[in-house]
Every structure is written in C-alpha cells, then in structure tokens.
Structure 1
Amino acid sequence: MSATDAEAAGEDATTDRWEPVRDLPPSAKLVAKVLEYEDTLSQSELAEETLLPPRTVRYALSRLEETDVVESRFSFTDARKRLYSLEL
C-alpha cells in the first residue's frame, strides 16, 4: 500500500465518520465541529463559540441528537444546564 493509498483510506474513515452529519443544516455541522475540538460544552458556551443565536444552537443540537451524533448529560455543577459532547 502506497502512502497515497494510506492517506485516502484515512480520509475515507474520517469521511464515513461524518456521514450522519452530511445532510444536516450548516448550523448543526458547525456545532458538531466545535464539539469535536472543545469536547464538552453547554448550550450557552456553544452559542459563544459558534457566534450563533441561542435558538439556532438549540435547533442544531436537537437535529444532532436526532441522528445520535451528540450526547447530552446534566452538569454536576449546575443541574439546570446540560452538557453536550460529540459521539462520532
């Protein structure tokens, strides 16, 4: 296997990993990408990082949860908040 083949195989694995996100709105893709880099964030933190309105972040998270791309859990420090992490 040449280096080019190995790179292509690596790209295919990454591309396949993002397959569930491919048909989602751009806001959902952005939220997923931010979660990939930041690991776990609350909805308000996601709004700050993405510069999207909170309502748009809420919609993006609901779409990502529908496709089982994002996992949410309650925050231990503030039970009113939910923390989101990427499950790809």
Structure 2
Amino acid sequence: MSTTEAVTADDEEVADRWESVRDLPPSAKLVAKVLDYNDTLTQSEIAEETLLPPRTVRYALSRLEEEDVVDARFSFADARKRLYSLAV
C-alpha cells in the first residue's frame, strides 16, 4: 500500500465517522466537534466552551443522541449532572 492510498483510507474513515452528523444543525455539529476535542463534558461546560445558549446546547445534544453520536451518563460526583462524550 502506498502512502497516497494510506492517506485516502484515513480520509475515508474520518468521512464515515462524521456521516451521521453531516445533516444535523450547525449547533449540533459544533457540539460534536467540541466533544471530539474534549473527552467528557457536562452540558454547562459545553455551553461555556461553544458560547451557545444552554437551550441550544440541550437541543443539539438531543439531536446528537437521536443519531447515537454521543453517549450520556450520570456524573458520580453530582448525580444531577450528565456527562457527555462523543460515540463516533
């Protein structure tokens, strides 16, 4: 396999990875990208990082959850909060 073929294969994997996000609203894409750079964040941390209003972050997370792009779990430190991480 040549270097060019290896790069093309890597590009295809990245493209396939983001396929389920491609048709989502821009806010959902931004939240997904922020979660890609950060392992796990709470909703308020996502809002802080993206500068999006909390309501927009909630909507973006719900759309991402519908597409099975994010994993959500309860925080052991504070059971009132959920931790989100990217699943793709």
TM-score band (shorter)? Answer: over 0.9
After TM superposition, give the deviation of residue 6 of structure 1 in Å. Answer: 1.1
TM-align CA RMSD:
0.7
CA deviation vs aligned residue, 1:38-75 (integer Å, no higher than 9, x gap): 11000000000001110000000000000000010111
Cα distance in 2 between the residues matched to 1:73 and 1:3: 40
Q: Runs of at least 4 residues of structure 1 off by over 3 A?
A: none
The normalised TM-score by structure 2 is 0.97
| Residue type at the aligned position of 1:37 | Y
After TM superposition, give the deviation of residue 2 of structure 1 in Å. Answer: 2.0
Higher helix content, 1 or 2: 1
1:25 is matched with: 25
2:68 is matched with: 68
Gaps of 5+ in 2: none
Cα distance in 1 between the residues matched to 2:60 and 2:31: 7
Cα distance in 1 between the residues matched to 2:10 and 2:74: 34
2:49 is matched with: 49
The normalised TM-score by structure 1 is 0.97
Q: Percent identity?
A: 76
